[in-house]
Amino acid sequence: MCNALGIINFEDNSVDVTGLADYRPIPSLTFMGRYRLIDFVLSNMTNSGISNIQVYVKNKPRSVYEHLGTGRHYNINSKHGKLRIMHGEEPIQSPIYNTDINAFKSNIQFIEEANRPYVIIAPSYLVYTIDFNDVLNYHIGSKADVTVITKPTDLAKTSFIGCETLILDKDKHIVSAEANRGKYKNRNISLEAYVMKKELFLELIDLAQKTSSLFWLKDVLRDNIDRYNMNAYIHRGIVYPINSLAEYKRANLELTDFHVSKQLFDQDWPIMTRTSDTPPTHYGKTALVTKSSVANGCKIDGTIINSVIGRGVTVKEGAVVIDSILLPGVTVGSGIHLEQVIVDKNARVTEVRELKGTADKPVYVKRRDRI
Amino acid sequence: MRQNQMLGMILAGGRGTRLEDLTNKVAKPAVFFGGKYRIIDFPLSNCANSGVHVVGVLTQYESVLLNSYVAQDQKWGLDTKDSGVFVLPPREKSDGFGMYRGTADAITQNIDFIDQYNPEYVLILSGDHIYKMNYARMLQFHKDQSADVTIAVLEVPLKEASRFGIMNCDENDVIYEFEEKPKEPKSNLASMGIYIFSWKQLRKSLLQDLKDDKSDHDFGKNIIPDFLSTKKKLMAYRFKGYWKDVGTLDSLWESNMDLLDESNALDLMDPSWKIYTEDVAAPPHFVQEHGSVVRSIVNQGSVINGHVENSVLFTNVIIEEGAVVKDSVIMPNAVIGKNARIERVIIASDIEISENAVVGSADSEHIELIAKNR
């Protein structure tokens, strides 16, 4: 058992997954045609033995409530454990006030009441797997005030744009922090996942409020970098930031390669989700599929190359799908050619003959659209 | 306790000897089917979808896996306050330990369980048949006909009728005679082993049967004949649709192959009558660079880098590069090694087929089974 309160935080406005995010909050984004983003951080927490978890939602909470339910499918015990979905209770005068600090503040009594000495805070827009016990033990051993999970990357010129980068000294002590503008190749990316004592967390909420009502948790930490002892915990595994449509596409398509995805999907560290009781996928005589991942409940009779096929998708005979992502419930009619396209849930592509995007600018088809 | 209208009782004690090594360590109802399911998911899902909320499952042979499997009743949504799936293996009683001596005896020994719910009707099911059926409609028929027992029947080809228990009926589908595997069948209405009894009547008949030393304590051999001889009203309820008793390796294979036909009558894709099963945390399946799949069904977690044709792949199956799988059923966690050739084979769960192995052949008379020995 992990002696920490788990807090799943919401992302700030540097995360902008245009299109997909118009219909649901970031934690509810469909991933690999089967998961929602929040499944990763939540499974990390429950697999680590964290049994008391608070999920903070910025907006549009319906899909989050529906997906998480009591949390039983994430192994959260309905008697001893607790999964709470939190949102600000006070009216928000303007979207700029919709910060994580304000949401924590309006639920402060539930944080105070949680009978755990530590808090582990992590957002859901970063996809990776980690054992939080290792981080907590490292934190306790290091005697730091705050431990920040950090991913060293050599992709910072093109990826992790807008994420916070950390400058570390040789003892992995955090010296300064700034947003990644894509200027350098090698950067240490903050995964915005923090371990600290609960008292310090409460102190930081207070401090943030006193400084500026627009402050986010990461602002107050950056602002007080010299005041507290902050250390980086280096995470070596793969991490995908889902902070833009291009990153969403890159993550999904890279994971169609089993050699990549097996770094994320380990039978001993299961990523759990809500089941929808769909049958296995049916391939017809004319199916031609390669380098792709396919969720359950699909009917495949067409050609699929290097794509992610979501649950319950129909690809008719003569349809061609290349470098694309089809979200659950999509239908692609016969003779349709899709390349570099992201088709949102339950859309039907049966009339337009061809849609072609580019690697950087995939075409996005709206949810439930008919084209 | 609130009165329960119709209680379900599933007979799941049978071994299924003709399934050979597949049932060494599990009873037949727990055998895998259809890429994702176990056979007993079908009657249990039918119960859940028909509004039969309390189900007793009578287990006996190698019941450890089956007991733990069905006890997690949330799988079928049967976990509200008023519902549940209850595992009922034989138990020690004040007058000794009694195995279930027959299908009827299994119910007799659990009269106390049924009485707790005080049901008006009891639905008796078999745990080893593949079909989708709305038992609520059958109950309505039972009530409309004021029957004492209603038996679901399937029209089978007359030349195959001698393999089944046959119900001989008048023009109103009132059963006047029951013949077990008749040499010269008079009718083609085969019993599906699905009965709705009015509980008071059945209870009386079971207690009488218990006293009869010569009885086999079997529904077909004893209880139904007793209802006939005492002039009770027995009705045949005609079922139209897919139904299969997967008693042999060949028929298990065949019913898996039935699913490959896109317009198959079982239609697992129908969202209005889902079949529920264990929720396994596995990613989607992956078709890799050298992989190809035609006319097959594939479940989540599988990784295909060889050629798969006319086959059923369960959860977390691995088909390595160059392997060819044809007309076969590959159960969970099996690995087919590089360049292996598999044809007309059932591969049991957790089996590893080594590189370059050749198993089964296109013209074999029977389906080959690769499973762990006892």
Quote the pLDDT of residue B235.
97
Q: Rounded to 5 degrees, what are φ and ψ at B120?
A: -75, -40
Kindly identify which residue of chain B lies nearest to residue A274, measuring between CA atoms: B279
Give chain B's radius of gyration (CA, Å): 22
- Whether the per-residue pLDDT at A360 is higher than 70: the answer is yes
Looking at residue A279, the DSSP 8-state letter turns out to be P
In the three-class reduction of DSSP (H, G, I as helix; E, B as strand; rest coil), residue B319 is classed as strand
Q: Do B300 and A296 touch (CB under 8 A)?
A: yes
DSSP string, A52-105: EEEEE--S--HHHHHHHTTSGGGT--TTT-EEEEE---SPPSSGGG--HHHHHH
A226 touches chain B (CB under 8 A): no
Rounded Cα–Cα distance for residues A194 and A171 (Å): 18
Q: Is B71 on the interface with A (CB under 8 A)?
A: no
Chain A contact present for B36, CB below 8 A: yes
Helix (H) or strand (E) holding B199: helix B199-211
The string of pLDDT tens digits covering residues A7-35 is 999 998 889 998 898 888 999 999 999 99
CB atoms within 10 A of CB A161: 17
Examine the pLDDT at B2 and tell me if it is beyond 70.
no
C-alpha R_g of chain A: 21
Test the B interface: residue of A35, A258, A289, A299 with most B CBs within 10 Å? A258
A292/B283 Cβ within 8 A: no
User: What residues does CATH 2.160.10.10 cover in chain A?
Assistant: 282-365
Query: What single-letter DSSP state applies at residue A258?
Result: H
Residue among B262, B286, B298 whose CB faces A258 most closely: B286
Q: Which whole number is the average pLDDT over B146-159?
A: 95
Shortest Cα distance from B2 to chain A (angstroms)? 25
- CB distance A280–B300 less than 8 Å? yes
**Per-residue pLDDT tens over the stretch A51-79:** 999 999 988 889 999 999 888 899 888 77
Residue-level pLDDT at B91: 86
Q: How far apart are the first and last CA of chain A?
A: 51
Closest Cα in chain A, distance from residue B319 (Å):
12
Higher-pLDDT residue of A71, A260: A260
Number of alpha helices (DSSP H) and beta strands (DSSP E) in chain A: 9, 28
Which of B117, B130, B176 minimizes the C-alpha distance to B151? Answer: B176
Asked if pLDDT for residue B188 goes beyond 80, the answer is yes
Rounded to a whole number of angstroms, the distance from the CA of A130 to the nearest CA of chain B is 17
Contact B34 A280 (CB under 8 A): yes
**For A127-164, how does the pLDDT look when each residue is reduced to its tens digit (9 = 90+)?**
999 999 999 999 999 999 999 999 999 999 999 999 99
Angle at the Cα of B190 (from B265 to B179), degrees rounded to 5?
Answer: 170
Which range (A260-269, B66-75, B122-131, B234-243) has the least confidence? Answer: B66-75
B30: helix, strand or coil = helix
B298 interaction partners in chain A (CB closer than 8 Å): 280-281, 283, 294
Closest CA to B209 of B196, B193, B221, B197: B221
pLDDT tens profile B287-335: 999 999 999 999 999 999 999 999 999 999 999 999 999 999 999 999 9
- Please give the CATH number for the structural domain made up of A4-261: 3.90.550.10
User: pLDDT band at B66, cuts 50/70/90?
Assistant: confident
Average model confidence (pLDDT) across chain A: 94
pLDDT-derived band at A87, boundaries 50, 70, 90: confident
Using a CB–CB cutoff of 8 Å, tell me whether A270 touches chain B: yes
Q: Quick check: B187 contacting A, CB < 8 Å?
A: no
CB distance B352 to B338 below 8 Å: no
Q: Which residue has the tokens 């016990």?
A: A133
* Average pLDDT value for chain B: 93
Give every CB contact of residue B103 below 8 A, 6+ residues apart in sequence: B11, B124, B217, B218, B219, B220
pLDDT at A1: 66
Distance between CA atoms of A226 and A222, rounded to whole angstroms?
9
Sign of CA dihedral B208, B210, B214, B219: positive
Average pLDDT over residues B253-272: 93
Residue A22: what are its φ and ψ, rounded to 5°?
-70, -20
Q: Which residues of B touch A295 (CB under 8 A)?
A: 284, 300
Closest-CA distance, B145 to chain A, in angstroms, reads 36
Interval B190-218: pLDDT, tens: 999 999 999 999 999 999 999 998 999 99
Pick from B36, B311, B252, B295: nearest CA to B130: B252
Interface contact A297, partner B, CB < 8 A: yes
Instruction: Please tell me the distance from the alpha carbon of residue A232 to that of residue A230, in angstroms, as a whole number.
Output: 7
pLDDT at B1 over 60: no
pLDDT at B374: 58
Residue keyed to tokens 């008391």: A52
Out of B274, B286, B299, name the one closest to residue A280 (CB).
Answer: B299
A363 touches B at CB < 8 Å? no
Q: Please answer yes or no on whether B296 and A283 come within 8 Å at the CB atom.
A: yes
Where, residue-wise, is CATH 3.90.550.10 in chain A? Answer: 4-261
The per-residue pLDDT for range A320-341, each reduced to its tens digit, is 999 999 999 999 999 999 999 9
> Chain B: nearest CA to A259, how far in angstroms?
10
Q: What angle, 0 to 180 degrees and rounded to 10, lies between the N-to-C axes of helices B41-50 and B135-144? A: 60
Which of B269, B283, B312 is nearest residue A261 as measured by Cβ atoms? B283
pLDDT of residue B76: 84
Which residue among B36, B277, B298 places its CB closest to the CB of A283? B298
Q: Which helix (H) or strand (E) holds B368?
A: strand B368-370
How many whole angstroms separate alpha carbon B72 and alpha carbon B63? Answer: 14
B29 to each of A151, B22, B130, B157, how far by Cα in Å? 49, 11, 10, 26
pLDDT mean over B85-114: 89
A265–B283: do the CB atoms touch at under 8 Å? yes
Residues 6+ away with beta carbon under 8 Å from A3:
A116, A117, A118, A136
Q: Give the number of other CB atoms < 10 A from CB of residue A276.
A: 15
Alpha helices for chain A (secondary structure H): 38-47, 62-68, 100-106, 108-113, 132-142, 198-211, 217-223, 245-254, 258-261
| Mean pLDDT on B72-86 | 85
Cα(first)–Cα(last) distance of chain B, in Å? 45
Of the candidates B34, B262, B300, which has its C-beta nearest A295's C-beta?
Answer: B300
Please give the average per-residue pLDDT across B50-77, as a whole number.
88
Q: Could you tell me which of B19, B245, B26, B38 has the C-alpha nearest to residue B130?
A: B245
Considering CB atoms only, which of A258, A287, A295 is closest to B288? A258
Please give the residue of chain A at the shortest CA–CA distance from B309: A285
Task: Tell me which residue has tokens 């396919």.
Answer: A294
Chain A residue numbers touching B326 (CB-CB < 8 A): none
- Summarize the confidence of residues B343-371 as an average pLDDT: 96
B216 neighbors B222 (Cβ within 8 angstroms):
yes
Structure tokens at A171: 């003892």
Across the interface, do A290 and B288 touch by the CB < 8 Å criterion?
yes
Counted across chains A and B, CB pairs separated by less than 8 A come out at 111
CB distance B35–A280 less than 8 Å?
A: yes
A351 contact partners, CB below 8 Å, separation of at least 6: A333, A370, A371
Residue A263's contacts (CB-CB under 8 Å, 6 or more residues apart) are A237, A238
Q: What pLDDT digit, counting tens, does each position of A229-257 carry?
A: 999 999 999 999 999 999 999 999 999 99
Please check whether residue A341 is in contact with residue A322, taking contact to mean a CB–CB distance below 8 angstroms.
no
Contact A326, A34 (CB under 8 A): no
Please name which of A159, A314, A174 lies closest in space to residue A242, comparing C-alpha atoms: A159
Please, is B56 exposed, middle or buried when counting C-beta atoms within 10 Å of its C-beta (0-12, 13-18, 19+)? Answer: buried
Gap between the Cα atoms of B272 and B268, Å rounded: 10
Q: Which residue has the tokens 């056979």?
A: B39
Residue whose tokens read 């939602």 = A57
Q: Determine the topology of domain A282-365 in CATH.
A: UDP N-Acetylglucosamine Acyltransferase; domain 1 (2.160.10)
Q: CA of A297: which chain B residue's CA is closest?
A: B269
The whole-angstrom separation of Cα B178 and Cα B218 is 13
